[in-house]
Structure 1
Amino acid sequence: MKQLRVLLVDDNPEDIFLAREVFQEHEAQVDLVTCQSAPDALDYLRRHAEVAYLPDVVLLDINMPGMSGFELLRALKDDRSLSHIPVVMLTTSGHPKDVQEAYTLHASSYLMKSENFQAFMEQIDAFVTYWQRNRLRHWPQR
């Protein structure tokens, strides 16, 4: 099976480090790229706008300085060459307004980051399994 290409966008270096640790358990199945800001992620996606280089799914934090995750999500969904990429919000916020805003802006899913490392590992395991089974099966070959 081909690798699942994931773009993680999070401004917190500790959260990125933790996510890299967890995704390393899936290194044979997942190609993880990280960006520490929404503008960097948007630039990365626009530079790699050919389908062969785009991620299969974006994991996106909400609360980031400058450009929020919601603003990036809006920009992605407004860009015809990027709007098809599924975006999963990965955040510590469980506020109902944040959940509603994410789905209003067409996020594919909303995950609350677990503060427990073992539970976070289980979340990522489930994320990888889901997206491998449901995204890659019908995605064009690279």
Structure 2
Amino acid sequence: MKTLNILLIEDDMIEVMKFNRAINSLQLNHKITEANNGEDALKLLEQKDNLPDIILLDLNMPKINGIEFLKILKNDERLRYIPTMILTTSSNKRDLLSCFEIGIAGYMLKPLKYEDYVSKIEKLLAYWSMNELITA
């Protein structure tokens, strides 16, 4: 399985720690870059020589929310091809629809139980590490 360069955009530090803990417990050696909000993520993405393979995006964030971030991403000639997965607690059908209309690779609800979360993250990353990913 190939190593992924993952951009995790999440404002909740507990969620960031949970994600990193899951990665470590699964003994996956993916490279994780963290951004605490959409603005920071866009700054990181300006460094076009080091683009992520996939983006994991929380929807409910300060400054630029997930949907606003997606719109900016998809309007960029180079960034629009980066597969973006929504990782959220929001089961709001309007959010779901908006995200798919803008263009996302998937929408995953964060389970409450940690074991279920780890299982979902494992499957998610296994799937993406088997994909042929575009490097812009």
Give the structure-1-normalised TM-score.
0.89
Q: Does 1:19 align with 2:19?
A: yes
Query: Unmatched 5+ residue regions in structure 2?
Result: none
2-structure distance, mates of 1:109, 1:130: 11
2-structure distance, mates of 1:61, 1:104: 17
2-structure distance, mates of 1:63, 1:28: 27
Extract structure 1 runs of 4+ deviating beyond 3 A: 25-29
Structure with greater contact order relative to length (CA < 8 Å, sep ≥ 6): 2
Give the structure-2-normalised TM-score.
0.93
Q: Indicate if the aligned counterparts of 2:111 and 2:117 stay in contact, CA closer than 8 A.
A: yes
Instruction: Provide, for residues 83-136 of structure 1, a one-character-per-residue CA deviation record: whole Å limited to 9, x for no partner.
Output: 110100000001110100110110110000111100000011001110011235
Could you tell me which of 82, 85, 104 is aligned with 1:107?
A: 104
Q: Does 1:77 align with 2:62?
A: no
Instruction: Provide, for residues 22-76 of structure 1, a one-character-per-residue CA deviation record: whole Å limited to 9, x for no partner.
Output: 11235544111111011000100112x12xx211100000000110011111111
Q: Does 1:129 align with 2:126?
A: yes
Query: Unmatched 5+ residue regions in structure 1?
Result: none
1-structure distance, mates of 2:2, 2:120: 21
Match of 2:37 in 1: 37
- Identical pairs, percent: 30
Over the aligned positions, Cα root-mean-square deviation in angstroms equals: 1.4
